[in-house]
Amino acid sequence: MRKSNERVLDSGIYARLRDVQMSEADRRDAVAALLKAEQFADAILWIKQKVADVGHAFLKPSLRL
């Protein structure tokens, strides 16, 4: 859901993962876990926005008598 992978790879946490001393397999696992977490967060935000967009359709004006 990200529009640019450059922004992802240049952020602070990814730079730290490049700099920290660990095996390449651990580094790949860590980057994959971060990407999966970002995708999950993006999906939640997308769902929240879509619910907000159609939320007005479910609100009925109240009748005051």
Q: Residue 24: inside a domain, yes or no?
A: yes
DSSP single-letter state for residue 4: -
Average pLDDT over residues 36-51: 94
Show Cβ contacts of residue 14 under 8 Å, excluding neighbours closer than 6 positions: 8, 31, 34
Is residue 10 in a domain? yes
User: What residues make up the domain containing 22?
Assistant: 5-57
From CA 60, how far away is CA 34, in angstroms rounded? 41
pTM, entire model:
0.63
Question: Is 64 among the domain residues?
Answer: no
Residue 16 lies in a domain: yes
- Structural domains of the chain, count: 1
Is 15 inside a domain boundary?
A: yes
Confidence of residue 1 (pLDDT cuts 50, 70, 90): very low
Residue 39 has pLDDT above 70, yes or no: yes
Q: Is 62 among the domain residues?
A: no
Residue 3 has a pLDDT of 47
